[in-house]
Amino acid sequence: ALMLVLLAVMVAACGGGDKGASQQASGQAEQGKEASSGGEKKVLKVGTDAAYPPFEKQGPDSKPVGFDMDIIKAIAEVNGWELQIEHAGWDPLFEDIDKGKRDIGISAITINDERKQKYDFSDPYFDAFQLIMVPESANVTKIEDIKDMRVAVQSGTTGADLAEKVLGKGNPKLKGFDDTPSAVEELYAKRVDAVVADNAVLNDFLKTSGKEGYKVVKDPNVVPEQYGIMVKKGNKELLDEINKGLKTIKENGKYDEIYKQYFGEEKK
Ligand code: ARG
């Protein structure tokens, strides 16, 4: 046991401690292996866009925390992995996975056909749908109602796709932002009339932002979505382990425990 502790200390020392996020991100995400008690521990680089509570946000030490982080940590525990979880940003995350700079993307990512061309996804781990956030007085009951409004979205999301379908590509009334909080800020500042984004996230804004006078609207005709954990296309070995871990935590109650912590008894 003493040998192990010594070994761990040496490994930590050689690792150089806490590098800046950008520096780490520029390194190759070679699935590193570290010597441990008789076996090898896979070290995996996990990326997220840590501006999407309750799924991910920057924790007190600027390390991402949230539902997604707890899920991937639980999966890592099943598989005996060590994780390096970093904020990457939304667009960079997709690039990083594609280039092999990061191994795993978990960021409330909706599984869709377009993304499946380029990436592989785990089994679904969360059900979601789009909501329209508007001032309480707004006359909006369905997605078509935002057609002539100024709308803010996070660029490159399924919410952006949906808004674009209604407003038309290149419509100057449709404003894209790098993250969702910026889109919601635009609504609070009255520079747009609506935001389209995922249900749990907009509900979280309603609950926690302290801003009065806003509501979310669900159009039952909009196709529901499911989140998946994303890996580089063809990385079957990793995907199989992720799915195995997901299955295990769904069976052993760990998933439910995490779910309750973030969403209470709300139905899945
Ligand atoms: N589910 C939506 C999508 O996949 C939005 C996800 C945005 N996630 C984030 N962490 N910003 O397009």
Distance 267 CA to ligand 1 centre (A): 21
| C-alpha 27 to ligand 1 mean position (Å) | 25
The conformation of residue 110, written as its DSSP 8-state character, comes to B
pTM of the model: 0.86
Q: Ligand 1 atom 12: the closest Cα is on which residue?
A: 157
Which residues lie with the beta carbon below 6 Å from any ligand 1 atom? 49, 52, 56, 90, 107-110, 154, 157-158, 180, 198
Long-range contacts of 208-214 (CB under 8 A, 24+ apart): 208/53, 209/184, 213/135, 213/136, 213/137, 214/133, 214/134, 214/135, 214/136, 214/187
Ligand 1 atom with the smallest distance to the CA of 56 is 10
For residue 128, which atom of ligand 1 is closest to its CA? Answer: 1
Residue among 107, 129, 178 whose CB has most ligand 1 atoms within 8 A, to mutate: 107
* Centre of ligand 1 from the C-alpha of residue 50, in Å: 10
Backbone phi, then psi, for 7, in 5-degree steps? -60, -45
Token pair 């979280």 is at which residue?
204
Pairing of strands 230-232, 174-177: unpaired
Q: Provide the pairing of β-strand 56-58 with 51-52.
A: antiparallel
Q: Could you read off the pLDDT of 23-60 as tens digits, one per residue?
A: 344 444 555 555 445 567 899 999 999 999 999 999 99
Cα angle 258, 158, 119 (rounded to 5 degrees) comes to 75
DSSP string, 120-141: EE-S--EEE-EEEEEETT---S
Q: What's the mean pLDDT in 8-23? A: 42
Beta bridge partners of 104: 46, 231
- DSSP state letter for 51: E
- Higher confidence at residue 20 or residue 176? 176
What is the rounded CA–CA span in Å between residue 60 and residue 72? 19
pLDDT, one tens digit per residue, over 202-261 is 999 999 999 999 999 999 999 999 999 999 999 999 999 999 999 999 999 999 999 999
Residue 76 has pLDDT above 80, yes or no: yes
